[in-house]
C-alpha cells in the first residue's frame, strides 16, 4: 500500500448522489438505467465488429476465431467487477480520473496517476473517436469508391457533426442515445436473423488442420486477435465517466455495466457465427466490407447497400457515446485543480463542459484525417492498458485496504480474484500490441514529465513546501 501523508478524502456514495452534490457540481442527474445501458451498448458496438471481424478470422486462421470473441468477453466481464465497485462507490464525472485519485491518495500518488489518465485522455480519447470515424469512411467506400482525400473528408466531417449533436443538455442526449441504440440493436438482430435462416453448419465450422494446436504460434494468433476483439468490447464502462449524471448510481452503474456486456456478448457471438455460416472464412478474412458482403450474399446488392447505411448509423452512434464520456474527464480534473481551469467551465444554459468537448473534438478531427485504422486501434490499447486498466485493478485493492468493504455499495464477487486475473489479462494483452508498446510507454514518460513541470509551477506535491500544509 502506498503511504500518504494525510487522511484520504472519503466520498460517501449516498451523499455523492444527492441533489445537493448535483447542484454543487453543476451537472444534472438525468440518466436512468435505460439510458445508461443504451450509452454503453452503442459505444461498445461502434464500428469495431464490422471492421475487425475479417482481421480476427485471419489472425486465428479459421472459424476458431470465435474463441477470441469469447476470451474478449471473459476479460471484459472480469474487469467489469473493478469498474462496478469503483463506479458505485464514486459516482462522479470523470470516472477513472476520480478512481485513480482516491485509490492512490489524492494528496500524492493519486495526483500523479489521475494526471497521467487525463494526459492520456487527450490522446487515446480522440484516437477512439478517430478509429470509429475512419471505419465509418472505410465502410462508406462500399456505397461509392472514395479517393483518399474524400475518405478523410468523410471521417473528419463525422467528428464535426457529432460535436454539434453533443452540444446540448444531458437529458436531450439521453433521448438521442436511446434512438441510436434502437438502430444498433435492430441492425445486429437483422444480421443474425439473416444468417440463422441461411446457415450452413459445414461452412461455419470448416476448421483447418491444427485449428486447436495449443502451441506458441496458436497463442500468438490469439493475442493478435484479442487486441481486435477487446477493442470491440471496450465501452462497457462509459457510464462511469458520466457518474455525476446517473440517477441512483449505486445500483444503475453496476447493472448498466453487466447488462451491456451480457447483451453485446450474445449479439457478437450470434453475428460472428452467422457470418461464418454464410461467407466461407477463407473469403471472409480478406473482405474489407464483411457485413456488406454477407448481406449481399443473402439478399443482393440493394440490401447490402441498406446494411451498409445501418453500419454507418452504428458508427455514428459509437462516436456519439465515446466523445460524450471523455469530455467529462478534463472537466473533472479541472474542478480538482489538477488541470487547466478553462476545462472546468460549464455551458451557461445547457450545463455541460463545452470547452472540454470542443478541445477533444478538435483533436479527434485531426487524428481522423491523418491516421490509419489499424494504427489507431493498436495505439488505443497500448496507451490505456497500463495506467487506466491495470492501474484501476491495483487501485481497487488499495482502496479496499483503506476504506474497508463496508463503505462499498457494490462488492465484487470472489474478491480479489477478478482484479488479479484482470491485471494478468491486461498485462498479457499489452505485450501483444507489439510495436505500439513503445508509444504507450513514451506517452506515460512524457506525461510524468508534464506532471513534474505542472506541479513545480503550482508548488504542489512533490514540490510543495514540506513545512506548510498542502494547499496553504
Average pLDDT score over the chain: 84
Question: Of the ranges 29-38, 55-64, 180-189, 304-313, which is most confident?
Answer: 55-64
Q: Examine residue 248 and state whether it is found in any structural domain, yes or no.
A: yes
Residue 450 lies in a domain: no
Is pLDDT above 60 for 9?
no
Q: Is 330 inside a domain boundary?
A: yes
**Residue 372: its pLDDT value, please?**
74
Q: What CATH number corresponds to the domain at position 332?
A: 1.20.1740.10
pLDDT bin (cut points 50, 70, 90) of residue 205 is very high
Which pLDDT belongs to residue 124? 80
pLDDT in tens, 207-223: 999 889 889 899 999 99
Residue 8's pLDDT is 39
- Give the model's confidence band at 138: pLDDT under 50 very low, under 70 low, under 90 confident, else very high: confident
pLDDT for the residue 3? 39
More confident residue, 273 or 20: 273
Q: What pLDDT sits at residue 245?
A: 86
Give me the pLDDT at residue 340, please: 79
Residue 27 included in any domain: yes
pLDDT of residue 20: 33
pLDDT at position 289:
84
Check pLDDT > 50 for residue 465.
Answer: yes
Q: Which residues contact 451 (CB under 8 A, 6 or more apart)?
A: 111, 112, 115, 116, 119
Residue 322 scores a pLDDT above 90: no
**Residue 156 to residue 319: CA distance in whole angstroms:** 12
Q: Which range is least confidently modeled, 23-32, 271-280, 304-313?
A: 23-32
Instruction: Flag whether pLDDT at 313 surpasses 70.
Output: yes
Min mean pLDDT across 71-75, 181-185, 415-419, 429-433 is at 181-185
Per the domain annotation, does 198 fall within a domain?
A: yes
Give me the pLDDT at residue 6, please.
38
pLDDT at 26 over 50: yes
Supply the range of the domain harboring residue 77. Answer: 13-429
> Which percentage of the chain shows pLDDT scores above 70?
91
Structural domain total, the chain: 1
Is residue 196 included in any domain, yes or no?
yes
pLDDT in the model for residue 18: 36
Residue 458 forms part of a structural domain = no
Res. 311: pLDDT tops 50: yes
Q: What is the pLDDT of residue 391?
A: 94
Lowest-confidence region among 96-105, 128-137, 214-223, 332-341: 332-341
- Which of these ranges, 11-25, 169-183, 261-275, 453-467, has the smallest mean pLDDT? 11-25
Confirm if 169 and 354 have CB atoms less than 8 A apart. Answer: no
**In a 10 Å sphere around its CB, with 0-12 CB exposed, 13-18 middle and 19+ buried, how is residue 141 labelled?**
middle
Residue 57 has pLDDT above 90, yes or no: yes
pLDDT reading at 42 higher than 60: yes
Q: How confident is the model at residue 25 (pLDDT cuts 50, 70, 90)?
A: low
pTM above 0.75, yes or no: yes
- pLDDT bucket at 393, cuts 50 / 70 / 90: very high
Mean pLDDT of 367-390: 79
Does residue 136 fall inside a structural domain?
A: yes
Amino acid at each position: 500500500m502506498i503511504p500518504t501523508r494525510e487522511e484520504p478524502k472519503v466520498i460517501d456514495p449516498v451523499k455523492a448522489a444527492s441533489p445537493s452534490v448535483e447542484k454543487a457540481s453543476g451537472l444534472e442527474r438525468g440518466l436512468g438505467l435505460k439510458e445508461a445501458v443504451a450509452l454503453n451498448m452503442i459505444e461498445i458496438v461502434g464500428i469495431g465488429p464490422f471492421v475487425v471481424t475479417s482481421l480476427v478470422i485471419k489472425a486465428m486462421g479459421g472459424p476458431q476465431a470465435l474463441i477470441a470473441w469469447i476470451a474478449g468477453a471473459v476479460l471484459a466481464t472480469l474487469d467489469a467487477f473493478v469498474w462496478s465497485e469503483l463506479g458505485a462507490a464514486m459516482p462522479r464525472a470523470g470516472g477513472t480520473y476520480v478512481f485513480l485519485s482516491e485509490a492512490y491518495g489524492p494528496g500524492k500518488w493519486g495526483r500523479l496517476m489521475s494526471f497521467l489518465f487525463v494526459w492520456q485522455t487527450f490522446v487515446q480519447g480522440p484516437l477512439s473517436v478517430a478509429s470509429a470515424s475512419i471505419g465509418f469512411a472505410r465502410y462508406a467506400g462500399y456505397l461509392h469508391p472514395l479517393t483518399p482525400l474524400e475518405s478523410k473528408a468523410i471521417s473528419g466531417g463525422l467528428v464535426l457533426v457529432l460535436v454539434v449533436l453533443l452540444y446540448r443538455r444531458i437529458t436531450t442526449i439521453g433521448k438521442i442515445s436511446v434512438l441510436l441504440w434502437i438502430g444498433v440493436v435492430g441492425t445486429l438482430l437483422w444480421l443474425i436473423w439473416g444468417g440463422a435462416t441461411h446457415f450452413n453448419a459445414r461452412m461455419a465450422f470448416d476448421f483447418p488442420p491444427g485449428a486447436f494446436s495449443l502451441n506458441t504460434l496458436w497463442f500468438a494468433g490469439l493475442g493478435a486477435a484479442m487486441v481486435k476483439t477487446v477493442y470491440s468490447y471496450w465501452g462497457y464502462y462509459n457510464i462511469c465517466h458520466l457518474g455525476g449524471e446517473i440517477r441512483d448510481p449505486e445500483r444503475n452503474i453496476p447493472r448498466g455495466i453487466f447488462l451491456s456486456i451480457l447483451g453485446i456478448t450474445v449479439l457478437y457471438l450470434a453475428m460472428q457465427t452467422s457470418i461464418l455460416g454464410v461467407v466461407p472464412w477463407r473469403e471472409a478474412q480478406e473482405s474489407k466490407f464483411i457485413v456488406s458482403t454477407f448481406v449481399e450474399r443473402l439478399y443482393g446488392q440493394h440490401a447490402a447497400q441498406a446494411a451498409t447505411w445501418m453500419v454507418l448509423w452504428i458508427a455514428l452512434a459509437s462516436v456519439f457515446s465515446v466523445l460524450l464520456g471523455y469530455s467529462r474527464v478534463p472537466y473533472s480534473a479541472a474542478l480538482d485543480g489538477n488541470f487547466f481551469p478553462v476545462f472546468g467551465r460549464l455551458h451557461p444554459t445547457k450545463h455541460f463542459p463545452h470547452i472540454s468537448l470542443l478541445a477533444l473534438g478538435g483533436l479527434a478531427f485531426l487524428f481522423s484525417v491523418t491516421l490509419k485504422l489499424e494504427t489507431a486501434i493498436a495505439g488505443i490499447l497500448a496507451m490505456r492498458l497500463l495506467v487506466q486498466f491495470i492501474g484501476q485493478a491495483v487501485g481497487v485493492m488499495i482502496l479496499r485496504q483503506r476504506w474497508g468493504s463496508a463503505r462499498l455499495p457494490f462488492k465484487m464477487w470472489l474478491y480479489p480474484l477478478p482484479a488479479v486475473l484482470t491485471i494478468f489479462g491486461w498485462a498479457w494483452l499489452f505485450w501483444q500490441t507489439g510495436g505500439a508498446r513503445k508509444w504507450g510507454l513514451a506517452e506515460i514518460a512524457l506525461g510524468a514529465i508534464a506532471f513534474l513541470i505542472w506541479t513545480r509551477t503550482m508548488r504542489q506535491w512533490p514540490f510543495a513546501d514540506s513545512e506548510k500544509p498542502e494547499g496553504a
